[in-house]
C-alpha cells in the first residue's frame, strides 16, 4: 500500500484540509488540549457551559486546587498560582490560551455529536441548535461522554460504556478523544497535579497531527492492538509520550463501507514545545 502524505493520495483522495478540533469542556484538561492544538496551527473551537473557563474551579461552588497546582510547560504556564484558590486557578487555566486560531464559546452546552462518514467530520450541536463541524472532538467536560453520540454507522453509544485505548481513545469510534476519564490514584508524594493533564494534551496534539499528515480520514484504533488504561500515574504519563502509529487504522471518506486500512508511518516529525 502506498504512503499518503499531505494529501498526495491517488484515486481522488487529494483533497486536503487542516484539521479543526472541537474541545468540549473548559477546565484544565480541555484548555490545555485546546492550547496545544491551537499552538501548532489547528483551528480550535472550545465549548463550556459555564460563564468562564476553569472547570471544577469555576461556578458557585468551586473546588479548592491542590498544593502545587499549575501548568509546568512554558507554552501553558503564563501565570503563577501563589496561594492555591479557585480564583487563581481559573485565571491560570484561562491564561494558557494565548496563541493560535481558537474560539471560545461560553454558556454553551454541547448536547449531541454525530460522525459523518461522507467527509470524515463530526457535526457538533449545542443546546440552542447551532451546529459546528470538526475533524476531531475532544471530550473534557467532566462526565466522560456527551448526551448523544452517533457513530458513522448511525447508532448511538455511551462513551462511558466503551473501552478506551490508553484511557483516552474510545475503541470503535473514530476521531474522538476522552481526556477526563478514570485515572489511577496520584501518589501522595507526587506534587505535580497537572502533569497528567499536560501528557493528555500532548497526546491530543499528536493524534490530530495524524490527520494533518494523512488528510481527511476516519482514524481508528485497531481493535486487536489496543492497550488498557495504565494502572499507575507515572506509567500513564509515559504511555502517552509517543503516538504509536502502528496500532491505528484509517478510512478515507471515499472508502466508506470498506475495511479500515493500517495506518502508514509518516515522514512528518513532530517537534515538541520546550518545557
pLDDT confidence tier of residue 4, bands split at 50, 70 and 90: very low
pLDDT of residue 190: 61
- How do residues 167-189 score in pLDDT, each as one tens digit? 999 999 999 999 987 777 777 65
Region 216-225: mean pLDDT is: 91
> What SS3 class is residue 264?
coil
Burial zone of 91 (CB within 10 Å; 0-12 exposed, 13-18 middle, 19+ buried): middle
Contact between 74 and 273 under an 8 Å Cβ cutoff? The reply is yes
Q: 247 by DSSP, 3-state: which?
A: helix
pLDDT score recorded for residue 154: 86
Give the helix, strand, coil percentages of the chain, each rounded to 5: 20, 20, 55
With beta carbons less than 8 A apart as the criterion, state whether 133 and 196 touch.
no
C-alpha cell at 157: 453509544
Position 39 pLDDT exceeds 90: yes
Distances 151 to 11, 111, 127, 157, 220 between C-alpha atoms, Å: 26, 15, 20, 7, 12
Mean pLDDT (whole number) for 18-39: 97
pLDDT at 177: 98
Q: What percent of the chain has pLDDT over 70?
A: 85
Q: Residue range 43-49: average pLDDT?
A: 97
114-139 confidence digits (pLDDT tens):
999 999 999 999 999 999 999 999 99
pLDDT tens digits, 188-208 = 656 688 999 999 999 999 999
pLDDT digits (tens, 9 = 90+) for 254-274: 655 555 554 443 333 333 334
80-103 residue pLDDT tens: 888 889 999 999 999 999 989 999
At 245 the pLDDT is 85
CA atoms of 49 and 140, how far apart (whole Å): 12
- Collect all residues with Cβ–Cβ distance below 8 Å to 164 and sequence separation of at least 6: 170, 171, 178, 181, 229
For residue 188, the tally of other CB atoms under 10 A from its CB is: 6
- Tell me what pLDDT residue 5 has: 33
User: Is the pLDDT reported for residue 104 higher than 90?
Assistant: yes
**For the chain, what is the mean pLDDT?**
86
DSSP state of 174: -
- Can you tell me whether residue 62 is helix, strand or coil? coil
Mean pLDDT value of segment 146-153: 93
pTM: 0.87
Between residues 30 and 4, which one has the greater pLDDT?
30
Question: Which H or E run contains 94?
Answer: helix 86-95
Mean pLDDT of 135-145: 95
pLDDT of 265:
36
Cell readout for 89 is 486557578
pLDDT tens digits, residue range 51-75? 999 999 998 899 999 888 999 999 9
| Residue 44: pLDDT over 80 | yes
* Predicted local distance difference test score (pLDDT) of residue 2: 30
The predicted structure's pLDDT at residue 189: 55
Please give the Cα distance from 133 to 115 (Å, whole number).
Answer: 10
Amino acid at each position: 500500500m502506498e504512503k499518503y502524505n499531505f494529501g498526495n493520495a491517488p484515486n481522488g483522495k487529494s483533497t486536503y484540509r487542516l484539521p479543526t478540533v472541537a474541545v468540549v469542556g473548559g477546565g484544565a484538561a480541555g484548555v490545555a488540549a485546546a492550547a496545544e492544538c491551537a499552538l501548532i496551527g489547528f483551528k480550535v473551537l472550545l465549548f463550556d457551559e459555564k460563564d468562564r473557563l476553569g472547570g471544577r474551579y469555576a461556578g458557585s461552588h468551586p473546588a479548592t486546587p491542590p498544593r502545587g497546582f499549575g501548568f509546568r510547560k512554558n507554552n501553558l504556564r503564563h501565570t503563577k498560582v501563589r496561594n492555591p484558590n479557585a480564583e487563581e486557578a481559573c485565571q491560570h487555566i484561562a491564561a494558557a490560551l494565548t496563541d493560535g486560531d481558537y474560539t471560545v464559546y461560553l454558556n454553551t452546552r454541547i448536547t449531541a455529536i454525530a460522525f459523518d462518514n461522507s467527509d470524515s467530520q463530526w457535526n457538533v450541536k449545542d443546546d440552542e441548535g447551532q451546529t459546528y463541524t470538526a475533524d476531531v472532538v475532544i471530550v473534557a467536560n467532566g462526565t466522560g461522554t456527551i448526551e448523544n453520540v452517533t457513530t458513522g454507522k448511525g447508532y448511538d453509544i455511551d462513551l462511558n460504556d466503551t473501552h478506551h485505548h490508553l484511557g483516552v481513545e474510545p475503541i470503535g469510534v473514530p476521531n474522538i478523544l476522552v481526556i477526563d476519564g478514570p485515572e489511577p490514584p496520584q501518589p501522595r508524594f507526587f506534587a505535580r497535579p497537572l502533569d497528567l493533564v499536560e501528557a493528555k494534551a500532548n497526546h491530543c496534539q499528536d493524534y490530530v497531527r495524524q490527520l494533518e499528515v494523512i488528510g481527511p480520514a476516519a482514524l481508528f484504533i485497531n481493535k486487536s492492538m489496543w492497550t488498557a488504561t495504565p494502572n499507575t500515574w507515572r506509567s500513564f504519563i509515559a504511555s502517552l509520550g509517543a503516538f504509536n502509529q502502528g496500532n491505528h487504522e484509517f478510512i478515507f471518506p471515499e472508502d466508506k463501507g470498506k475495511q479500515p486500512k493500517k495506518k502508514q508511518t509518516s515522514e512528518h516529525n513532530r517537534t515538541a514545545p520546550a518545557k
